[in-house]
Amino acid sequence: MKPTYNEREVMALLQDEKTQRRGFEQVVAQYSEQLYWQIRRMVYSHEDANDLLQNTFIKAWLNLDYFRGDAKLSTWLYRIALNECLTFLNKQKATATVSLDDPDADVLHKLESDPYFSGDKIQMMLQRALLALPEKQRMVFNLKYYQDMKYEEMSEIFGTSVGALKASYHHAVKKIEKKLEEEI
């Protein structure tokens, strides 16, 4: 049975050099799965998601001394993960050799040929609709829809007002609905 996670106790472990590694192992155990899925929804490839998850935890470990505890540990980890995703996606766009008419074709092809994607036609349609969103709207939608994250917590991650995030989510939902209606 997995031990219960207590953020206050883990923070105390992280602040002591002798127990830092044990505390960080608890952080990794606690947040790996949810961070993986958040990253995976942005990059769509299992291998890329695993690499970015590893990069997220490496950056967190290397910058542990800079974590002041102003925000929750999960918020800090999400911010690192989202920054890793943005950097990765921007590099991908810069080196992409796909058609200018359909820049997301490469991503869709990766998803369709991914042996780990077990989605049906409806899920593929949703993924295509999500790909059509601007990156920030896609991230906001993913955090709200899949993680049920509160706008206040997202505000800390993005450094954006709650009102702007609500508007972004609303616009994302409307665009997804429109795209799904076009495909059906």
Q: pLDDT tens digit string along 117-131? A: 455 677 778 878 888
pLDDT digits (tens, 9 = 90+) for 132-160: 888 889 889 988 988 888 999 889 888 88
Looking at the structure of the chain, the number of domains it has is 2
Return d(Cα 117, Cα 43) in angstroms, integer: 13
CATH number at residue 149: 1.10.10.10
The token pair at 27 is 């952080």
Residues 1 and 82 in one domain: yes
Identify which of 92, 26, 89, 84 has the alpha carbon closest to the alpha carbon of residue 58: 84
Of 109, 112, 116, give the one whose Cα is nearest residue 47.
116
- Looking at the whole model, is its pTM more than 0.75? no
Task: Tell me, yes or no, whether 2 and 76 share the same domain.
Answer: yes
Same domain, 123 and 94: no
Q: Which long-range contacts (CB under 8 A, 24 or more apart) does 101-110 make?
A: 104/128, 104/131, 104/132, 107/44, 107/131, 110/44, 110/45
Residue 54 falls inside a structural domain: yes
Mean pLDDT value across residues 71-100: 81
Q: Give me the percent of the chain exceeding a pLDDT of 90.
A: 45
* Whether residue 90 sits in one domain with residue 130: no
The answer to whether the CB of 16 falls within 8 A of the CB of 61 is no
CATH number at residue 90: 1.10.1740.10
Which residue in 38, 31, 43 sits closest to 141, CA to CA? 38
**Residues 54 and 123 reside in one and the same domain:** no
Range of the domain at 53: 1-99
If asked whether residues 10 and 43 sit together in one domain, one would say yes
Considering the domain architecture, whether residues 44 and 13 belong to the same structural domain is answered as yes
Between CA 142 and CA 124 the distance in angstroms is: 15
Q: For residue 110, is it within any domain? A: no
Task: Mark whether 3 and 39 lie in a shared domain.
Answer: yes
Residue 183 counted as domain residue: yes
